[in-house]
Amino acid sequence: MHGFANPTRFLKLARPLTPWLLGAGLLLAGGALAWGFAAAPAERLQGETVRILYVHVPAAWLGMAGWTAIAGASLAEIVWRHPLAAIAGRAVAVPGAFFAALCLATGSLWGRPAWGTWWEWDGRLTSMLVLLFLYLGYIALAGATAREGGSSRIPAIFGIVGVVNVPIIHFSVLWWSSIHQPPSISTGGSAMAAEFLVPLLVATLGFTLLFAAVVLMRMRALIAETQAEARLRRRARDAG
């Protein structure tokens, strides 16, 4: 991990990797969505509305995975003082918030025909909404810290504390009475038929690659911004 602490070394890897991740993600996600929406069968009970799962499930996965990545970057910031950790956390936060919001929106669209309501203060739904608020809080805190020159350890602590919500989201349907269905995929196998499972897994992989590409692009932009600000400060100091 410390081998990529140098921004120059990191950028040397990130620049060629980004288009490959972006291209592969677009290909896999686009193909899976096309298959899922056009060729996969309707579900016996839910009918055509089941097709939302090809967006909803990857969005839920990436919303939770994004905050887990923020927590990992925050840990690296506090324990190892990794120079790119704070940048990585900021880079993950915006796409993570987007997918958390997308999960809530698609879940609401799916819930209306499936449950007869757009929203329910259910354990799974409420904890995912809390995750979105955590993302927004982290984005605001990290942005303010970067602008004002404050300690990056403050948003890092927030990132680590907030990760407690991720297992709550995952296990909420098992811990409490819930209108949300229990997990269909677990380490013990899958309860889904192959015609639904295969395009879902491909879509999840595709969206994950797109997520990684966006994070790398945002990290490159934040590094460039930081370097530009440092150069301006040096010039101002030399001129004075």
DSSP 8-state symbol, 67: H
Residue 15 lies in a domain: no
Residue 61 lies in a domain: yes
- Domain of residue 160, residue span: 53-179+193-239
Share of the chain above pLDDT 70, in %: 89
Residue 74 lies in a domain: yes
Give the pLDDT band (50/70/90) at residue 96: very high
Residue 42 lies in a domain: no
- The rounded distance, in Å, linking the Cα atoms of 146 and 149 is 5
DSSP 8-state symbol, 182: P
Our count of domains for the chain comes to 1
Residue 168 lies in a domain: yes
Residue 187 lies in a domain: no
Is this model's pTM higher than 0.85 or not?
A: yes
Which tokens sit at 148?
Answer: 């004002």
Residue 48 lies in a domain: no
Give the pLDDT band (50/70/90) at residue 20: very high
Residue 199 lies in a domain: yes
Q: Give the model confidence (pLDDT) of 169-217 as tens digits.
A: 999 887 777 777 777 666 556 667 788 889 999 999 999 999 999 999 9
Q: What pLDDT sits at residue 35? A: 92
Q: Give the model confidence (pLDDT) of 145-173 as tens digits.
A: 988 877 889 999 999 999 999 999 999 88
Residue 96 CA to its chain's centroid (Å): 3
Provide the mean pLDDT of the chain: 89
